[in-house]
Chain A
């Protein structure tokens, strides 16, 4: 290779004087610059209209007034929940094994005592699997309804639908599975729709993440199909929620 190919030229000293552009030179350069910008802008408009793509200016205009999406912790709980709060001592002391049930039956709360929410929650025992039956009851609860059927496991922060799972669905999955676009008939923006599943059937088997299509898809990385994949922490939150019985909490 000849040296002249990469050599930038003889050393030049500009420390003494660098001529400033005269008025005419400056005007000519600015005019040329404006012309180039004009042509480029025209090409951009042509390109945008030909392809139907939004122009940068229109995108910037849309950006300005749009508020940032709410943080996961600010998502309000969904309408009436039929599971007790996570800190309920009655539930924590009663059950130690997750219960896998596919339907939840809520009875009206009597609110006659502090333990009323826990006592009035019932679950239909529709599953015949071994996991569907509570195996350990440490302390029996006085309320009859609670001793018969009670919510799954001790809910944790990771197993909260409205606090941990729904924000993920809204942020990541909602573009294709919610709102205006509902691919495969699957809407992930409400608990009822999630439990209803897609055109291909249910996607959540409460208490059994391994056999839940939702967990399988996100763990394998097949979903989200477009855009960045879920973070391990987000996948864990979904799996924990399913394993906890997929409660509507």
Chain B
């Protein structure tokens, strides 16, 4: 196999989305765990970790979305099942994680303030739920119902 074949495989054939999607799923799960532990243990370090993790989740969601659209075109000729629903859920996940990361960046007491703590925790839970729902649809595409 020469180098051009490898480059062609990487660019045109190999699916990327299936690899990348594990990042937002794992990061939102970790973020949810960290924020619950931070609230329970009243631990500042865990709260910081949750903030960094949800920021990474927002970034990885963009990458997953781009690779997903690319794989849909390359491997499914734009006819992948649930593509539109996944795009909607993916956009929601990106917006949610971004809003949470920016809010936490601008208001570092967001977890500890009684006026926002429930919303902030719910945001982590919702982002995790969205990520695993997207993962479920991906599994249906790959392995069937």
Residues of A within 8 A of B (CB): 8-9, 11-15, 18-22, 25-26, 28-30, 32-33, 40, 43-44, 47-48, 51-56, 59, 62-63, 66, 69, 171, 221, 225-228
A51 smallest CB distance to B (angstroms): 4
**Interface of chain B, helix or strand or loop or mixed?**
helix
State whether A20 and B114 are in contact (beta carbons under 8 Å apart), knowing that A12-B109, A226-B75 are contacts in the complex: yes
A55 smallest CB distance to B (angstroms): 7
**Which residues of B lie under 8 Å from residue A43 when comparing CB positions?**
88
**Which residues of A lie under 8 Å from residue B144 when comparing CB positions?**
69, 171
In the assembly, what is the distance between CA of A135 and CA of B83, in Å? 55
**Which residues of B lie under 8 Å from residue A21 when comparing CB positions?**
114-115, 117-118
B42, B85, B119, B122, most chain A CB atoms within 10 A? B85
The B80-115 residues at the A interface (CB cut-off 8 A) are 80, 82-85, 88-89, 92, 105, 108-109, 112-115
A-B contact pairs, 29 of them (CB 8 A): A11-B44, A12-B44, A13-B44, A14-B42, A14-B43, A14-B44, A18-B39, A19-B112, A21-B114, A21-B115, A21-B118, A26-B118, A28-B115, A29-B117, A29-B118, A29-B119, A30-B118, A43-B88, A47-B84, A47-B85, A48-B85, A54-B85, A55-B85, A56-B89, A62-B145, A63-B145, A221-B13, A226-B75, A226-B79
In the assembly, what is the distance between CA of A11 and CA of B108, in Å? 10
* Contacts between chains A and B (CB distance < 8 A), count: 88
User: Does the CB pair B115–A25 fall under 8 Å?
Assistant: yes
**Which residues of B lie under 8 Å from residue A40 when comparing CB positions?**
92
**Which residues of B lie under 8 Å from residue A26 when comparing CB positions?**
118
User: Does the CB pair B51–A8 fall under 8 Å?
Assistant: yes
For residue A19, which residue of chain B has the nearest CB? B114
A32, A51, A52, A59, most chain B CB atoms within 10 A? A59
In the assembly, what is the distance between CA of A66 and CA of B145, in Å? 7
In the assembly, what is the distance between CA of A225 and CA of B78, in Å? 11
User: Does the CB pair B141–A227 fall under 8 Å?
Assistant: yes
B34 smallest CB distance to A (angstroms): 13
State whether A9 and B108 are in contact (beta carbons under 8 Å apart), knowing that A56-B85, A226-B79 are contacts in the complex: yes
B15 smallest CB distance to A (angstroms): 8
User: Does the CB pair B108–A12 fall under 8 Å?
Assistant: yes
**Which residues of B lie under 8 Å from residue A30 when comparing CB positions?**
118
User: Does the CB pair B13–A44 fall under 8 Å?
Assistant: no
In the assembly, what is the distance between CA of A13 and CA of B43, in Å? 8
B122 smallest CB distance to A (angstroms): 5
User: Does the CB pair B112–A33 fall under 8 Å?
Assistant: no
A203 smallest CB distance to B (angstroms): 21
Say yes or no for B2: interface residue by CB 8 A criterion.
Answer: no
In the assembly, what is the distance between CA of A12 and CA of B112, in Å? 10
State whether A29 and B115 are in contact (beta carbons under 8 Å apart), knowing that A51-B84, A54-B82 are contacts in the complex: yes
User: Does the CB pair A225–B51 fall under 8 Å?
Assistant: no
Say yes or no for B140: interface residue by CB 8 A criterion.
Answer: yes
B46 smallest CB distance to A (angstroms): 11
User: Does the CB pair B122–A59 fall under 8 Å?
Assistant: no
B74 smallest CB distance to A (angstroms): 10
